[in-house]
Amino acid sequence: MLGTETVQTILIVEDETLVRMDSADMLEQAGFEVLEAADASEALVILNQHDRVHLLFSDIDMPGDMDGLDLARLVHDRWPHIRLLLTSGHHRLDADQLPDAGDFVRKPWAQDALIVRIRGLLAE
Amino acid sequence: MEDRFNEVALELVRGEGTRSPILVNATVVRNRGTITQIRFAVFLAAERRLYERGLLDARDKAEAMIVTERADSELREQFIAVLGHDLRNPLASITSGIHMLERETLSPRGEKIVGLMEGSVVRAAALIDNVLDFARGRLGGGITLDRNAAEPLEPVLRQVVSELRSIAPGRTVNAHYDLDEPVDCDRVRIGQLLSNLLGNALTQGAADQSVSIDAATVDGELVIAVSNRGHPIPAEALDRLFHPFVRGTGRLSKGLGLGLHIASEIARAHGGTLNARSDEAATTFIFTMPLTS
């Protein structure tokens, strides 16, 4: 089925530069197209420019007016087709604290397990 | 009058004309049916009110204290959580940097340096976990668990063993897993417990001897045993091993002496036990907990 497979795009939102770069490397290696933002407002700028983001992968604790949870809720309202995956080493979230299309993974995540979660969300 | 009455309100008029409200209680004392005494208790109504006021004040104070205590404990938890987050964040950054460097082509020297850096990060992270848990315990909180029987424990244990191997690249660490049944535990905490036991075995054990780990589900229990060779620990010292700040006599005993203490606290929080035995053949720490809580 050559040519019918589309590359899926993930937007990473993470304020720690090295962590963001490492995550982006890893997801690119797994075959995703990756966009990067350092906080919620950068993420919104990118989302307004690209209409093909499939999944938002965001840290919860971030500087600025919005944290990752606020961002996820806003994204879910405006772009309901975008899947949401939140991460934190500090907070623990239950499914009912997240918008419908969302999931939570605790930091530090294992690379393979993270990619399985992302593929699972994108397949829904 | 029946045999008693309570709180009959009267007023006394003093010689100089001031009035004092009083309350009177009375009780009849009988001896074989015959009334022998009538006891009256007379007290100033104002004193009674003062007494009641005092009780109410004491209750309000106690309630206020509970509220303050609750606020204090929330503040304490928040402080420890934020401190932990702020200490771990830079470590997470360094770990990411190391991972990216590992994907580059490095010289053999570069590879060695990156490996050692990784080991240092693991040591720092373990220290942060233990110190924060100790602080939480000393400040009045306990170890809290996030139990989950649905997720497998083995990958977490394997990860810990591989991290500790990176700290001690020259050492042989033999691990054997036989975990067929689900374990209702906090996997991160059990990982921390294993990390502390293994870290202890690597620093206290003979450097030229191997360390072994056996993790198994047997007869409704999870059993993790960590053994090292080397000089046996004297019997009188075995009991004190799990007290905080007790440090071994091994080559690298410059630590805080919190690792085994926190490990035993994690065991206790899971309704389990952590025991040590030591002889010429080996020193072994055995953690046991029920599979279901």
ipTM above 0.85? no
Contact of B269 with B145, CB cutoff 8 Å? yes
Closest partner CB to A108 (pick from B82, B92, B103)? B92
Q: What pLDDT sits at residue A1?
A: 43
- Give the Cα separation of A90 and A107 in Å (integer): 8
Domain count for chain B: 3
Cβ-based burial of A22 (10 A; exposed 0-12, middle 13-18, buried ≥19): buried
Question: Does B99 contact chain A (CB < 8 Å)?
Answer: yes
Are B158 and B186 in a shared domain? yes
Indicate whether B200 belongs to any domain: yes
How many residue contacts between A and B have a Cβ separation below 8 Å? 39
Q: For A14, which residue in chain B has the nearest alpha carbon?
A: B93
Cβ-based burial of B1 (10 A; exposed 0-12, middle 13-18, buried ≥19): exposed
Q: How many CA atoms lie within 13 A of B127 on its CB side?
A: 12
Question: Does B159 contact chain A (CB < 8 Å)?
Answer: yes
Question: Does A87 contact chain B (CB < 8 Å)?
Answer: no
Mean pLDDT of chain B: 87
Are B194 and B250 in a shared domain? yes
In chain B, which residues have their Cβ closer than 8 Å to the Cβ of A89? Answer: 85, 88-89, 92
Give the CATH number of the domain where residue B25 resides: 2.10.70
Are B280 and B166 in a shared domain? yes
Residue where a domain stops, chosen among B138, B173, B205: B138
Q: What is the pLDDT of residues B116-147, one digit of tens each?
A: 888 888 888 888 888 888 887 776 667 888 88
Indicate whether B33 belongs to any domain: yes
Contacts of residue B236, defined as CB under 8 A and 6 or more positions apart, other chains included, come to none
* Model-wide pTM > 0.80: no
In chain A, which residues have their Cβ closer than 8 Å to the Cβ of B97? Answer: 18, 22
DSSP H helical ranges for B103-233: 108-138, 154-167, 187-204
Contact of A66 with A42, CB cutoff 8 Å? no
Contact of A52 with A35, CB cutoff 8 Å? no
Are B283 and B216 in a shared domain? yes
Closest partner CB to A18 (pick from B81, B88, B96)? B96
State the residue range of the domain holding B169. Answer: 154-290
In chain A, which residues have their Cβ closer than 8 Å to the Cβ of B85? Answer: 61, 89-90
Contact of A86 with A13, CB cutoff 8 Å? no
Q: Is the pLDDT of residue A3 over 50?
A: no
In chain A, which residues have their Cβ closer than 8 Å to the Cβ of B155? Answer: 110
Judged by DSSP in three states, B145 sits in coil
* Higher per-residue confidence, A87 vs B7: A87
**For B162-166, what is the mean pLDDT?**
87
Question: Does A19 contact chain B (CB < 8 Å)?
Answer: yes
Question: Does A21 contact chain B (CB < 8 Å)?
Answer: yes
Are B167 and B279 in a shared domain? yes
- Give the Cα separation of B245 and B15 in Å (integer): 74
Does the beta-carbon distance from A108 to B93 stay under 8 Å?
A: no
Q: What is the pLDDT of residues B35-50, one digit of tens each?
A: 888 888 888 887 777 8
Question: For residue A54, what is the enclosing H or E element?
Answer: strand A53-59
Indicate whether B279 belongs to any domain: yes
Q: What is the pLDDT of residues A66-89, one digit of tens each?
A: 999 999 999 999 999 999 999 987
- Give the Cα separation of A84 and A69 in Å (integer): 10
Contact of B80 with A3, CB cutoff 8 Å? no
In chain B, which residues have their Cβ closer than 8 Å to the Cβ of A22? Answer: 96-97, 99-100
All structural domains of chain A: 9-123 (3.40.50.2300)
Q: How far is CA B213 from its chain centroid?
A: 25
Indicate whether B255 belongs to any domain: yes
